[in-house]
Amino acid sequence: MGLYTRHPRFTISLLVLIFISLLLFVNSDSHDSLNPLALRRSNSLLRDQLRIDEAFYGKMLDQRKALVKKWGPTPDKIDPFPSHGEFYTLWDFFLPSFRCPHRVERIGIMGDGGKWFCGLERIAPKKSCVMYSFGINGESSFEADVLRAAPGCEVYGYDFSVNSFGPEIEHEIDLKSRSHFFPYALGAKDAHGPMDEPKTYTLRTLMEKNGHDFIDVLKVDIEGSEFDSLEVFIDSFRGAPLPFGQLQLEVHVFSGTKWEEFPRFLAWWEKLEAAGLRPFFSEPNLVYVNLVRGVRPDLIEYSFINIRGDHELLTDRPARRQ
């Protein structure tokens, strides 16, 4: 005999109670984002989490100093890719030890081209968001997947070696309508006169040309030019928070370049850290290692969250999603 048959009044009362509870829950949830007390509580929890993660990141920095002392004992004595029995590579000194306080997921294809992303659910509701992508190379699955998840987002793509975004965007009308491609290079200084080829712009100049004061998602894959370009960009803000929320960056430490010198690379990386960038994920480019067999792991993907400033990954700001 069923519960309703044995206790019809109790069953009806229970169903009514469940229905009312669901209504209250939905109603409460829908207004939480507009409730000042709920916002303060949520922001306080988020700030506490960020402070805890920063403390753990500090422990990793102490470990970095200890590793330098062990194998150096000074930075100038560190071989970034040793081959005499030392058990480390350059990347062991720069671990992605910060935790994104939101969902972390890989966006784009499974393979070279996909990127690790922090808090897509925080970006998706925005009615207006901006993504910059430097380095297209005929493959745009990452950019396309972000655009699909965030209907209010537009992407600005730059690559002097190709003529357009990849087919993932070019063959989808809605995505193409929200995409803007330019055959420019990203550099440490502007060079776009009649004789300059490729035309080169700093990131700050491009933001000014486009009328943007903030970039939600910044992807940079420019075959070694990332060092000078980002260094100049950071220096131009003279200690003020950088105007982007997160950075997907492929780092290229090619043999024979100045950036394979450990002290120089360390100083550049510490500049990123001082500007508020914290790596929350890394992925070595094993496709490169596999194709060019026997080479050292010069290429690695890093994803950073910017822990300074005021943006969706750091605080609940409903007004910014409107």
Q: pLDDT tens for the chain, 322 residues: list them.
A: 554 455 556 555 545 444 544 444 444 344 444 566 666 778 889 999 999 999 999 999 999 999 999 999 999 999 999 999 899 999 999 999 999 999 999 999 999 999 999 999 999 999 999 999 999 999 999 999 999 999 999 999 999 999 999 999 999 999 999 999 999 999 999 999 999 999 999 999 999 999 999 999 999 999 999 999 999 999 999 999 999 999 999 999 999 999 999 999 999 999 999 999 999 999 999 999 999 988 999 999 999 999 999 999 999 865 443 3
Report phi then psi at 50, rounded to 5: -65, -40
Per DSSP, the three-state class of 123 is helix
CATH topology for 36-321 is Rossmann fold (3.40.50)
pLDDT value for 156: 98
- pTM score, whole prediction: 0.87
Of 194, 236, 240, 234, nearest to 218 by C-alpha is: 234
The number of CA neighbours under 13 Å toward the Cβ of 75 is 12
Contact yes or no for 80/274 (Cβ under 8 A): no
Q: Where are the domains of the chain?
A: 3-30, 36-321
List of long-range contacts for 206-211, beta carbons under 8 Å, 24+ apart = 206/132, 206/156, 206/158, 207/243, 210/156
Contact yes or no for 191/199 (Cβ under 8 A): yes
Report phi then psi at 299, rounded to 5: -110, 135
pLDDT value for 176: 98
Cα–Cα distance for residue pair 196/189, rounded to 1 Å:
12
pLDDT value for 42: 80
Task: Give the contacts of 69 (CB within 8 A, at least 6 positions apart).
Answer: none
